[in-house]
Amino acid sequence: MKIGDNIREIREKEKKLKQEDVAKSLGITTKAYSNIENNVSDITLTRLYELADIFGVAPEYILNYQEKSTFTNHFNNYDGNNGVNIMYQGCAETKNIEEELKKSKQKLEMLKANVRAKRN
């Protein structure tokens, strides 16, 4: 997709704005704005930042826009999860927290075993 296509997709599908509304916010004619979306006119960096501000997104979002969000799903089934599959959607932090929790549970079991051993 070209940048004009990205701008149109964001305006129509996410922000539900009309070309006239965006053109007015930019202080340009609807025809001039239409030329941006149709990739007839090149877009300046300044204009990109103005559009990002109007849409409430980062300029990088406009440049790298994809209509459908993509997630990488990882299903993990290992000893200790009692047959429950855990799905991670592109979030390595969740997996790290789960691993820390597993280690903490192992330490707790070791401490309990030590307490039982001392009692006997």
Q: Does residue 90 lie in a domain region? A: yes
Helix, strand, coil abundance in the chain, percent, nearest 5: 60, 5, 35
Nearby residues of 45 by Cβ (< 8 Å), 6 or more positions away: none
Q: Examine the domain organization and report whether 59 and 12 are in the same domain.
A: yes
pLDDT tens digit sequence for 8-44 = 999 999 999 999 999 999 999 999 999 999 999 999 9
Domain of 13, in residue numbers: 3-63
Q: Examine the domain organization and report whether 53 and 85 are in the same domain.
A: no
For residue 11, what is the domain's CATH number? 1.10.260.40
User: What is the C-alpha to C-alpha distance for residues 104 and 106, in angstroms, rounded to an integer?
Assistant: 5
What is the pTM assigned to this prediction? 0.56
- In the chain, the number of structural domains is 2
